[in-house]
């Protein structure tokens, strides 16, 4: 890579006069710009040395890659004359330049709290769907499955208990996740959730508190009261940490924080927030009952545009209320899930049409993989990587979504639980609605595919521009403040590349890289690989090879294996901000290592206490040299165990 030329190209694309500040981390340039709309996105998309762009929290980030980003940054600073700043400083600069939007801030707050607990809700939801299949009459005959086969009654009973758990004890999950987001102790957050779901509360009655009558009520399955309670906890805990002497802080801060939170929750905040929660749920159900299929049709046309704004991140909070109300025999069920499924399948269908229309190898590879992802419920790669770049597929998909959502509303198709909003979403649908759901999904796919395909056939110059690698617009760059522009998704495999197995660099629980809470990794912009939630703080070499990058911040390592795989080990998310604190490194750039050699350590407890995610990502940055890079491990893993398989042929 010509680092000087890349720096020049980036400066020309973003505009020298448009720059405010610049920093870098292990993989990307991080810029604060005066106006993001002035960026020549097309120039960056077509630059072979730029692996992608990413906008979040007021920063415009350009993916260069480990090792090269340092040198590009040095040239960037020389040519622009900007002062070098740390990523922490850049965050503050970006915050000053951003206009505060209270609505978006609240949505991001909900997203930060609910995204981590969605796996538990989805697992419970799918178990709930299984229970519906076992107990529903008319699905496989006039009798339910357990009536036809009584031997399954015990299985159904056990499934029912498991499916209810995450929803009944939802305040505990909210307490843990909310405490982390608000900066409180997560175990105290769980404590607050536990006291709100204590079995004794279900007995009802009242307490007499110095003459004040307090009605006793349970807060099982409640979201808003739990959010309010854990927020209060964080306020009390932070204030007490500052005010109490160290000698008594450890003992009395938890005691006083929980005591104050408990009294306020049971006397005032809980009842008020529960009433507000019930009003919100009843209002949404009333709106659905009133507008019916017209409302679902409008919602279907607007759902994907809502995704662009990020507003959809607030829906899980509403859906949990709809699902729990439905399970209690109230309300119509979760219609938001149905509309989301129709919209996601429509975007996947439009992307599938692009696959058949385009002659560009890069776009064909990207559209094939992102279409499958969208049909399974993850639409960001399809929307931002394909449909918005060509524009017309995105809008063609809205037609399919609108029609299918209208029909679903007319047929009263609703979900009984949360799940994957795509073709496999039928598992979460009320049993009697499954046939209607599948029919509407097919309608959504067929309409979106046909409209996109025939429009594209008559506008071939948009789909296949004369210049290889161009796309018709830079719409993705204008779409959202927290989206990724995916580039360089595929290249022909290197005939000289060798098959090899890459080991886990750390012990812990394996996680699919698409689940990592950073779009650069989850959307595989740096390459494919795997992630590990660490249980131990020692990082080991996953291959025999050479250390090509050893950052001063000690949070990332780049290695090239003896067989040619280029491996990035990134320890934690945004941990570059710690500037090496809580990390130790034992290797230097250029050093030869053997598989199993110690690379460094991380103090997991200290990093988590500082508010950072400690997930370790292992990415094969030259993924394009291989036919396939795939994760081959699940569950708990020990460092040195096989984690990723790279296949050349």
Residue positions annotated with a catalytic role: 25, 570
**CB distance 63 to 55 below 8 Å:** no
Token pair 């004794």: residue: 200
The beta strand positions in 341-429, using DSSP E, are: none
- Residue 508 CA to residue 50 CA, distance in Å, equals 32
Q: Which of 225, 168, 158 is nearest to 202 (CA)?
A: 168
Residue 114 CB coordination number (10 Å): 24
Q: Which of 127, 10, 28 is nearest to 573 (CA)?
A: 28
Burial of 605 (0-12, 13-18, 19+ CB in 10 A): exposed
Helix (H, G, I), strand (E, B) or coil at 181: helix
**CB distance 198 to 215 below 8 Å:** no
- Residue 345 CA to residue 649 CA, distance in Å, equals 32
- Residue 286 CA to residue 94 CA, distance in Å, equals 42
Say how far residue 520 (Cα) sits from the centre of its chain.
Answer: 11
**CB distance 32 to 58 below 8 Å:** yes
**CB distance 445 to 348 below 8 Å:** yes
Q: Which of 560, 558, 604 is nearest to 578 (CA)?
A: 604
DSSP 8-state symbol, 310:
T
- Residue 344 CA to residue 174 CA, distance in Å, equals 27
**CB distance 334 to 128 below 8 Å:** no
**CB distance 485 to 41 below 8 Å:** yes
Instruction: State the distance between the two ends of the chain, measured CA to CA, in whole angstroms.
Output: 27
At residue 600, φ and ψ (nearest 5 deg) are 180, -175
């Amino acid at each position: 890579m010509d680092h000087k030329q890349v720096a020049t190209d980036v400066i020309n694309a973003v505009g020298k006069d448009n720059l405010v500040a610049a920093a870098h981390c292990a993989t990307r340039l991080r810029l604060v710009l005066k106006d993001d709309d002035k960026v020549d996105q097309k120039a960056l998309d077509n630059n072979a040395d730029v692996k992608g762009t990413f906008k979040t929290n007021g920063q415009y980030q350009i993916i260069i890659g480990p090792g090269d980003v340092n040198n590009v940054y040095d040239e960037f600073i020389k040519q622009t004359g900007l002062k070098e700043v740390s990523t922490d400083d850049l965050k503050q600069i970006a915050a000053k330049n951003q206009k505060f939007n209270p609505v978006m801030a609240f949505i991001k707050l909900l997203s930060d709290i609910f995204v981590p607990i969605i796996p538990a809700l989805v697992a419970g939801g799918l178990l709930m769907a299984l229970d519906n299949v076992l107990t529903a009459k008319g699905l496989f005959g006039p009798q339910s499955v357990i009536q036809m086969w009584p031997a399954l009654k015990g299985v159904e009973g056990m499934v029912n208990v498991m499916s209810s758990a995450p929803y009944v004890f939802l305040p505990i999950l909210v307490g843990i996740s909310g405490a982390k987001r608000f900066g409180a102790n997560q175990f105290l957050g769980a404590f607050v959730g536990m006291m709100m779901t204590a079995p004794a509360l279900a007995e009802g009655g009242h307490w007499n508190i110095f003459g004040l009558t307090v009605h006793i009520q349970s807060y099982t399955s409640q979201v808003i009261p739990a959010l309010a309670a854990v927020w209060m906890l964080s306020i009390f805990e932070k204030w007490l940490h500052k005010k109490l002497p160290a000698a008594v802080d450890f003992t009395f801060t938890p005691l006083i924080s929980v005591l104050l939170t408990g009294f306020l929750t049971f006397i005032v905040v809980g009842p008020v927030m529960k009433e507000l929660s019930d009003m919100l749920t009843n209002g949404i159900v009333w709106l659905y009952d009133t507008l019916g299929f017209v409302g679902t049709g409008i919602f279907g046309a607007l759902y994907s545009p809502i995704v662009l704004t990020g507003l959809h991140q607030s829906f899980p909070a509403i859906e949990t209320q709809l699902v729990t109300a439905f399970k209690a025999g109230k309300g119509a069920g979760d219609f938001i899930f149905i509309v989301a499924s129709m919209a996601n399948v429509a975007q996947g269908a439009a992307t599938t049409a692009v696959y058949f229309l385009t002659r560009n190898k890069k776009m064909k590879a990207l559209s094939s993989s992102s279409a499958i992802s969208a049909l399974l419920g993850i639409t960001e790669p399809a929307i931002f990587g394909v449909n918005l770049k060509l524009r017309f597929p995105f809008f063609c998909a809205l037609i399919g979504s609108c029609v299918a959502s209208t029909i679903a509303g007319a047929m009263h198709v609703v979900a009984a639980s949360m799940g994957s909003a795509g073709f496999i979403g039928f598992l979460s649908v009320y049993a009697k609605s499954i046939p209607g759901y599948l029919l509407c999904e097919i309608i959504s796919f067929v309409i979106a595919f046909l409209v996109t395909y025939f429009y594209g056939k008559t506008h071939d110059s948009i789909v296949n521009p004369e210049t290889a690698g161009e796309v018709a617009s830079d719409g993705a760059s204008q779409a959202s403040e927290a989206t990724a522009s995916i580039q360089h998704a595929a290249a022909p495999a290197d005939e000289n590349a060798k098959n090899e197995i890459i080991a886990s660099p750390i012990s812990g629980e394996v996680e699919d890289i698409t689940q990592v809470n950073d779009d650069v990794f989850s959307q595989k912009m740096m390459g494919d690989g795997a992630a590990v939630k660490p249980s131990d703080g020692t990082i080991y070499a996953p291959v025999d090879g050479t250390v090509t990058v050893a950052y001063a911040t000690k949070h990332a390592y780049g290695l090239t294996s003896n067989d040619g795989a280029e491996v990035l080990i990134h320890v934690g998310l945004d941990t570059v901000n710690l500037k090496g604190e809580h990390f130790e490194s034992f290797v230097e750039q250029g050093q030869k290592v053997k598989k199993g050699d110690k690379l460094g350590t991380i103090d997991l407890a200290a990093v988590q206490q500082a508010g950072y995610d400690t997930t370790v990502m292992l990415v094969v940055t030259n993924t394009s040299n291989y036919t396939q890079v795939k994760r081959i491990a699940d569950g708990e893993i020990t460092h040195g165990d096989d984690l990723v398989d790279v296949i050349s042929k």
